[in-house]
Amino acid sequence: MDALEASINMHIKDLYELEGALYAAMSTRLTRKQRRLLRWLVEDYSHEMVYTALIEKISEDMDIPRSTVRWNLRGLRDAELITAGDRENKGMPVRLTKRGEIVANHITVSWA
């Protein structure tokens, strides 16, 4: 019975994450560039980088100006689709949140 309850709780948590991801996607109205960046993070981001290094890498790989990458990543961070270091927490690598993964996988399938 405990295993069943644990499984149900895990699925409920996943549903809440999905709900949050869909809310984040709808409320922020992701731009095309932000959707491309999320897909890039899922498909091509194989190693962990800090925010500034990732901006350089994306700029080179996607031929997008660094300022544009920075602006769009900031939007993804504000929507809680990615986590990254900040002034108080430098050196933290950029990662997709669970919400970010769900939205990115949806984008890959539905908005490609």
Q: Considering its fold, how many domains does the chain have in total?
A: 1
The rounded percent of the chain whose pLDDT value lies above 70 is 89
Asked if 93 and 110 touch (Cβ cutoff 8 Å), the reply is no
64 has pLDDT over 70: yes
Rounded to whole angstroms, how far apart are CA atoms 49 and 92?
A: 8
- For the segment 13-38, the average pLDDT, to the nearest whole number, is 79
Ordered DSSP codes for 13-49: HHHHHHHHHHHHHHHHT--HHHHHHHHHHHHT--S--
CATH number at residue 46: 1.10.10.10
Q: How confident is the model at residue 112 (pLDDT cuts 50, 70, 90)?
A: very low
**Nearest by Cα to 94 from 63, 67, 58, 60:** 58
Q: Which domain holds residue 15?
A: 2-110
- For the segment 29-47, the average pLDDT, to the nearest whole number, is 85
Neighbours of 42 (CB within 10 A): 16
